[in-house]
Every structure is written in structure tokens, then in C-alpha cells.
Amino acid sequence: MAGYRGATAIVGSGQTPFYKRGTSPDAEVKLCLRAIVAACEDAGVEPADVDGFVSFGSDHNDGQRLMLGLGTKELRFGALSWTHGGGSAGAVGLASAAIVSGQADVVVVYRAMAENRSGRLRVAVAMDDLAAQYMVNGVAAPITRCGLITNRMLEARGVPRSTMTAMVRAAYYHARNNPNAYGRDADFDEDIYERSRMIAEPNRVYDCSRENDHASALLMVSAERARDLVDRPAYVLSAPTGTDLAWGGRNELNDRSDSFAGFAAVSRRLWAESGYRPGDVDVAQVYENTSGLGVGAMLDLGFCAPEAAGDFFRFENLIAPSGGLPVNTSGGNLAEGFIHGLSLVNEAMRQIRGDSPNQLPGASLSLVTGGPGDAVASAALLGTEETL
């Protein structure tokens, strides 16, 4: 899209450690500040120069709460991308919109959670998003909704369960090489996975994302400024958020599309705006609230036909560096840790920069997806200078 494609870039990544939920030694705002300051230092930008603040979901850490800690000279733009995990990748698009339109120059995209302050995320999402229709009927958490959607994908659409197993195995395989992954030392093999406790069929505990105390931040500027700041900016080729009426509203209660995870509209925009096709993508960070919906998102985005899913979603095809499409190379939401999906953007950016813990040599197109199955979906395609 003229004026937007490649006009902004991610130049800094900052992350705190992943802590067990509810055990962060720091207050939530302090976690948030640590991640933002780290992202600024990574890019060589003064924290006081950040003038735009973008987050998503139920994040409470608005810019006005942060500015006295950062020394923000002027807060010019602050916005929350509506919806929950569905907006994680799209927050990058919102920040780009602010930069391209001249409303802000240095925008930080972030998400922080310390659950002794903000409570269980699954409760926040349920209370905010799962209306009485769900709660009354024992669909009391996002995972249960994911069970309904995924069972249908397996039973009515013929996608094999092995696709889910492959996604989980790839996540834990990659986490082994990531010193920051919360799940890097977890006992995991296929047998442990198959015997692990069932939560909401077909989802076993290993199919479900973690919840961690953590903060992640990305620093974004215009493409021109990015070239002055860093060697290898991760340019934003497209980062749409949205949905169409067929999925919109209350999705599986209403869904009249043949979408698996709500990405039909976002998929059309992503490929049209970026000018690329799924087969061009080198590496993908796929939001997994559950493994099955991660598979559904990739099917919606066109990475393979549903009838070819069993072949595409094989462990060997999903791991770096040898697989055809390495996914979740940091361990992802299942095995690295979970900050509502935002840390996937940090990893997507590292793959472009070349310092992923499971680097794909020469990666030039790096995809990240927002929360699947949410009322609104998002995705972002990042690229090197050569992809512009």
C-alpha cells in the first residue's frame, strides 16, 4: 500500500525475564519501564524521546503512567489496539499508522503483565469477552472456546490432530536453545505430551499457552530514521488488524465463513499490501492460545490447503534451520513464555536482524500472527531492506 508499506521499521527490542505468573519481583509498571528502556537502549534512542505509546488487550500501563519514569518530553500519541490477543501483531500496524501520519516519531509497542496486580489474564479475557452465553454453559475460559473451534476443525474439516502435536513439539524443540525461555528445561517428549492432562478437548495442557509475568517492548520509527539508527531494521511491510462480517461479532456463534481462526480478511490485506505470498515467507511466529488455533491461523493465511495440513504441519518441516517453514523459533507462547503474544513480534524482529536463538540463515521475510479465534485478528509481515 503506497505510503505505508515499508514506511516504518522496528529498531529496538526489549524484554524482561519471563517469571512464573504472579511472582514478578517488580511491579507491573516497573516491568513495563524495564522493557521499554531496554528497547530504547537496543536502538540507541533516549527513552525521553519516545512520544508514542501503543498496547493492546487489557493492558493497564498507559503512557501517562510511564512518562514520569521515562522523562517523556511530550506524549503525542497513545492508543490501545482493541481486542485481546487478536490485536498483538496489529499493535505494530497501529504504531505504524501514527508514524506515517506524523502524529508521533518514536513509538513504543509494549505489553506488561504482573498478575499480582492485573490478575489472571484468562479471567480478564473471559470477563471482558466471554458473554453470558459462554459462561452460563461452562465455557469459562478462552481455552474452552478454543476446544469448540478446534474440535470442529478436526472432526468436520478433516485436519489431523498430528498438526497440533507437530506445533507443540517444534515449540519445545526451539525453546531448548533459548536461554530466556521459561519452558526450556520442561520435561517434554511426545509420550509426556500424549499423557498430559486434558483441559478442554482436544486440548491437553501442553496445547495451551502459558501465562507469565513479563514485559516485552518494540521500538518503532520511520524507515528513514531506522536506517540511521541500526544496521538491520525490520521493516513493516504490512500489519493489518480486523475481520469481516462473516466472522465478525461473535465468531463461532455467528461465523458464516469457512475460516478456521478468523483471519480471512486479514489474510487478504496482508498479502495484497505486502505484495508477497505465503510461499515467500521464510519464518513465522504463530500465536498459539492453543496449538490447534495456531494451525487454523496458518490455514487461513494460506500456507497450505486443509487437505495438505498433515504433510505441511510435520515437526521436521517446522523447525529451524532445516524445515520448510520454521515456526515459533523462540519457543513461542507455549514454551518460551506468554505475554499475550507480543514476544512473538520480538522474535520475528530478531529473525530479520539475525540474532534469534534459532536463527534461520538469510531470513528476509518474517511473519507474526496475532491471537487466533479472537473476535478480531491481526498479522504483521516484517522484511529486510532487500524486501522493500
Partner 1 sequence: VSYLPEERIRGGIGADEQYWEYLGAKEFRLSRCADCLAWLWPAHWRCRHCGSWEIGWEPVEPVGRVYAWTRTWYVFDQSKGRAGDIPYVTVLAEIPAADGARVLGVLAGGDEGLAIGAPVRGQCVDASPKSLDYPSLTWTLVK
Question: Hunting for cell 534461520 — which residue is that?
Answer: 360
Residues 274-313 that bind partner 1 (CB under 8 A): none
126 near partner 1 (CB under 8 A): yes
Residues between 191 and 210 that touch partner 1 (CB under 8 A):
197-201
Residue 11 to residue 22: CA distance in whole angstroms:
30
When the beta carbons of 14 and 142 are compared against partner 1, the nearer one is 142
Residue 186 CB, nearest distance to partner 1 (Å)? 19
Task: Please tell me whether the peptide bond between 278 and the residue prior to it is cis, using omega within 30 degrees of 0.
Answer: no
Residue numbers 128-187 binding partner 1 by CB under 8 A: 128-141, 143-144, 147-149, 151-152, 155-156
Q: Give residue 80's Cα distance to chain centre.
A: 15
What is the distance between the alpha carbons of residues 37 and 297, in angstroms, rounded to a whole number? 32
Count of residues near partner 1 by CB under 8 A = 39
In whole angstroms, give the CA distance from residue 376 to residue 91.
12
In whole angstroms, the minimum distance from the beta carbon of 317 to partner 1 comes to: 28
Report helix, strand and coil shares of the chain as percent, to nearest 5. Answer: 40, 20, 40
Contact 106, 221 (CB under 8 A): yes
Query: Does 48 interact with partner 1 (rule: CB under 8 A)?
Result: no
If one asks whether residue 388 binds partner 1 (CB under 8 A), the answer comes out as: no
Closest listed residue to residue 98, CA positions, set 55, 65, 57: 55
Task: Determine the interface stretch with partner 1 among 53-61, 211-219, 249-257, 301-309 (rule: CB under 8 A).
Answer: 249-257
Closer Cβ to partner 1, 207 or 347, answer by number:
207
Query: C-beta of 202: minimal distance to partner 1 in Å?
Result: 8
* Segment interacting with partner 1 (CB under 8 A) among 82-90, 248-256, 317-325, 329-337: 248-256
CB atoms within 10 A of CB 274: 26
Q: Which residues contact 355 (CB under 8 A, 6 or more apart)?
A: none
Residues that bind partner 1 (CB under 8 A): 120, 122-123, 126-141, 143-144, 147-149, 151-152, 155-156, 197-201, 245, 249-250, 252-254
